[in-house]
Amino acid sequence: MLWGFWYPALRSDQLRGENLERAMLLEVPLVLGRDRAGKPFALRDVCPHRAFPLSFGRFDGASVECAYHGWQFDAHTGQCRHIPSLVADSKLKCDRIYAGSFPCEERDGYVWAFMANPEGRSPASTAATAVVSGGTATNPAPVPLPPELPTFSPNYRIARLSAELPCSVDHGIIGLMDPAHGPFVHQAWWWRSPRSIRDKAKQFEPIPNGFRMSAHAPSANSAPYKLLKLITGEPATTTIDFVLPNQRFEQIRAGRYWLSSRTTVTPVRADMCRLDFVAAWNILPWFPVVSFIIHVLGPRFIRQDTEVIEKQALGLKYGDRMMLVDDADRQARWYFELKAAYLESQQTGEPMRHPVSGPVTLRWRS
């Protein structure tokens, strides 16, 4: 689990009125809702009194009330506002009691939570605790802005897909970036077949917290890309980025036309993650060809990946060591190396050492 990043918790349309909703991120239970102004919040779904889930309680637009003993907590800060059982002369300072809380923002139709630590402490208090306990801590960095899908014109269409994957986040991510499984897992007239396998050579370069497949012509053996080229009448280029902790961005540009997508693989539990895909495009918005590709072919594509992961889980339970071979698996190696470098940087306070030293060309067949 990588802490110190934004993760999508729910779709925005799942938070309505003063209803409370549950989510699980990085094995942390969350309760989410909206205040009277419509701003989302995320608290740890555990009352600090008797560990009763706050999601069973009542929300009045400002405070979440625990259904067990009526303790009330500020929806955004988690600060305890009221304890009904206290007598007038009690010396207990309830405002010093906090439920865990997480910074919360909306982007691209998703509610994101910034997961600094499992307890929902602020980054500042986390750093202070490390100093008191003798650890190494620097001044806490401000919470960064949540991720946002790049768009390149004011008018566009947008679509979203999601699926639960019965595997660890690591297996979900390296499956997401695997370039060699397509002709075998996604065999279809509208995608690829084993007969379409050909040599590929792509240039990669380092970017902050990740790596980029530099702008290149889209795969000539994929029917959707052929269709897009036919529609736009322009030579197209594709750029693909992977950025820690879990984001894959792809941008297809053809003259004034563009399609931009982001796929995240978010850890829910150690044995489960969730895939969220969002795409925006301005390619013939009045003609539903791109919408058809995403809404009809997209779910089939994701279902094929899900079925493979379910079958892979049968073998993974025996704990055999994985083989990551040659250039086709180099992106998976980079992912594990990036993750290790990030964790080392967090522990030492030193700048992160990027495992990709410079531009490199990878070659494989797919």
Interacting residues of 213 by C-beta distance below 8 A, sequence separation 6+: 202, 203, 204, 238, 239, 240, 241
> Is the predicted pLDDT of residue 189 greater than 70, yes or no?
no
pLDDT above 80 for 289:
no
Give 276's strand partners: 162, 264
For the four alpha carbons of 360, 151, 268 and 166, in that order, the dihedral sign comes to negative
Better-scored residue on pLDDT, 140 or 31: 31
Q: With 90 as the cut, is the pLDDT of residue 256 above it?
A: no
C-alpha distances (whole Å) from 274 to each of 63, 65, 182 are: 29, 29, 20
Can you name the residues that pair with 360 across neighbouring β-strands?
A: 204
Residue-level pLDDT at 222: 59
Tell whether the model's pLDDT for residue 232 goes beyond 80.
no
Q: What is the pLDDT of residue 132?
A: 38
Choice between 67 and 121, residue whose per-residue pLDDT is larger = 67
Q: Is the pLDDT of residue 64 over 50?
A: yes
Question: What's the rounded mean pLDDT across residues 29-52?
Answer: 97
Find the range with the poorest average confidence among 5-19, 83-97, 149-163, 220-234.
220-234
The tens digit of pLDDT for each residue in 301-312 reads 888 888 888 888
Q: Quote the percentage of the chain above a pLDDT of 70.
A: 89
pLDDT in the model for residue 10: 95
Confidence at residue 362, expressed as pLDDT on a 0 to 100 scale: 87
For the ranges 28-42, 131-145, 152-166, 301-315, which has the lowest average pLDDT? 131-145
DSSP E strand stretches across 2-107: 5-11, 21-25, 28-34, 40-44, 58-59, 63-65, 72-74, 80-82, 101-102, 104-107
| Mean pLDDT for the chain overall | 87
Neighbouring CB atoms inside 10 A of 60's CB total: 12
R_g (Cα) of the chain, nearest Å: 23
Take residue 266 and report the two structure tokens written for it. 């978010």
pTM for the whole structure: 0.88
pLDDT at 140 over 80: no
User: Which pLDDT score, from 0 to 100, does residue 200 have?
Assistant: 85
pLDDT surpasses 50 at 152: yes
pLDDT the model gives residue 130: 40
**Structural tokens at position 110:** 């998703």
**pLDDT at site 236:** 82
- pLDDT of the residue at 215: 87
- Mean pLDDT to the nearest integer, 358-365: 88
What integer is the mean pLDDT of 152-173? 93
In the three-class reduction of DSSP (H, G, I as helix; E, B as strand; rest coil), residue 355 is classed as coil
Greater confidence, 299 or 347? 347
12-34 average pLDDT score:
96
Range in 53-67, 89-103, 218-232 the model is least confident about:
218-232
Q: Spell out the alpha helix ranges (H) of the chain.
A: 123-132, 169-176, 182-185, 223-232, 289-292, 298-316, 330-348
**Statement: residue 316 has pLDDT above 90:** no
CB 314 within 8 A of CB 179: no
* Confidence band of 128 (pLDDT split at 50, 70, 90): very low
pLDDT, average across residues 278-292: 82
CB 72 within 8 A of CB 63: yes
Q: Which residue has the higher pLDDT, 256 or 128?
A: 256
Does the pLDDT value for residue 217 go beyond 90?
no
User: Is the model's pLDDT at 202 over the cut of 60?
Assistant: yes
Which whole number is the average pLDDT over 56-75?
Answer: 96
Quote the pLDDT of residue 134: 41
